[in-house]
Amino acid sequence: MTNIELDLKQIINLNQHPIDNEIFIRSCENELDQKGVLTLPNFINNQTLLELVNEAKVNQFKAYYAKSTHNIYLTEIDKKLPPDHIFNYQVVSSKGCITTDQIPKNSKLKSIYGSTLFKNFLAKVVKEKNIYEYSDPFSSINIHYASDTQELGWHFDNSNFAVTLLLQKPKAGGEFEYVKNARNIEKNDMGYNSVSEIIHQKKKPTKLDIQPGTLVLFRGKNSMHRVTPTIGETTRMLVVFAYNSKPGISLSKSAQKTFFGRTSDDIK
């Protein structure tokens, strides 16, 4: 057993979440399949949560802040469609972000992320043979900061699954909302009617009550989702653990520049 695996027992509440137990893994897999989301409250112990919150606050000054407008599909607008078509509808996203290379080498986030036990658990739950870290120095672990009025606009994910860990929630706002199966990308169904109903508040989303210390697995490729604007002085702080189903994948240089304000060339 590696030092990382030994450390894991001092980080994760393994009694509550026995991530090496096949029965527990199957129950997690079933819940993710049925609901499109899996929440594991108190995934990390209180001491670890306190340490990670303090660590995130200490390093917040490194964050790159960006505000952008985008469509729900995270693509360029389609000029063949009318400007008021729901495909071209624009929403706002704004946040700060620190990247893998800005997180301390001895951070417990890196112990969790690099753990074979944790990766095996995730791979089984999301039905991937293996999962791999990003090859670029930025994308594997990010911490997102959403201060007062900052939000994540409605969108669909490009990835098959997302893994997040909430460190701190704001006094108000900052709520995760989603509508399961608003589209079916596998059948080339863009879900225009559903998307329009969600945007114009004719279809009510599900709100996910996420407390600090909760690990969330979410399938957002077909489920439309957002995080509502933060209200108040307490910043919402969220860890994103990003993996790939194939090794050797890097985020493109243009995407690095957009999301992180720099590229891997800048740190050579």
Residue 116 and residue 229: Cα distance in Å, rounded? Answer: 35
Which stretch of 44-48, 163-167, 211-215, 247-251 has the lowest confidence by average pLDDT?
247-251
Our measurement of the distance from residue 144's CA atom to the centroid of its chain's CA atoms, rounded to an integer in Å, reads 9
Annotate 96-127 with b (16+ C-beta within 10 A) or e (fewer): bbbbbbbbeeebbbbbbbbbebbbebbbbbbe
**pLDDT score of 5:** 54
Long-range interactions of 81-84: CB distance < 8 A, separation 24+: none
- 3-state secondary structure at position 238: strand
Q: For residues 268 and 260, give the distance between their C-alpha atoms in angstroms, rounded to a whole number.
A: 16
Taking the C-alpha atoms of residue 6 and residue 193, their distance in angstroms, rounded to an integer, is 50
pLDDT at 4 over 50: no
What is the C-alpha to C-alpha distance for residues 155 and 171, in angstroms, rounded to an integer?
24
Residues 102 and 60: their CA atoms lie apart, in Å, by: 10
Instruction: Give the β-pairing of 64-71 and 141-146.
Output: unpaired
Quick: pLDDT tens for 18-40.
999 999 999 999 999 999 999 99
Which of 21, 23, 244, 227 is closest to 113 using CA atoms?
244
Tens digits of per-residue pLDDT, 131-152? 999 999 999 999 999 999 999 9
**Could you please report the per-residue DSSP string of 115-151?**
-HHHHHHHHHHTT-S--B--SSSSSSEEEEEE-TT--
Record the tokens describing residue 151, joined without a space: 């939000």
CB 163 within 8 A of CB 215: yes
147 within 8 A of 207, measured Cβ to Cβ: no
Q: Predicted confidence band at 1 (pLDDT cuts at 50, 70, 90)? A: very low
What's the rounded Cα separation, in Å, for the pair 194 and 63?
35
pLDDT tier for residue 259 given thresholds of 50, 70 and 90: confident
Tell me, rounded to whole angstroms, the distance of Cα 29 from its chain centroid: 18
Helices vs strands, H then E, count in the chain: 7, 13
- Look up tokens 């790159």; give the residue: 64
Q: What is the pTM assigned to this prediction?
A: 0.94
Alpha helices in 192-246 (DSSP H): 192-199
Q: What structural domains and CATH numbers belong to the chain?
A: 3-245 (2.60.120.620)
The residue type of 242 is A
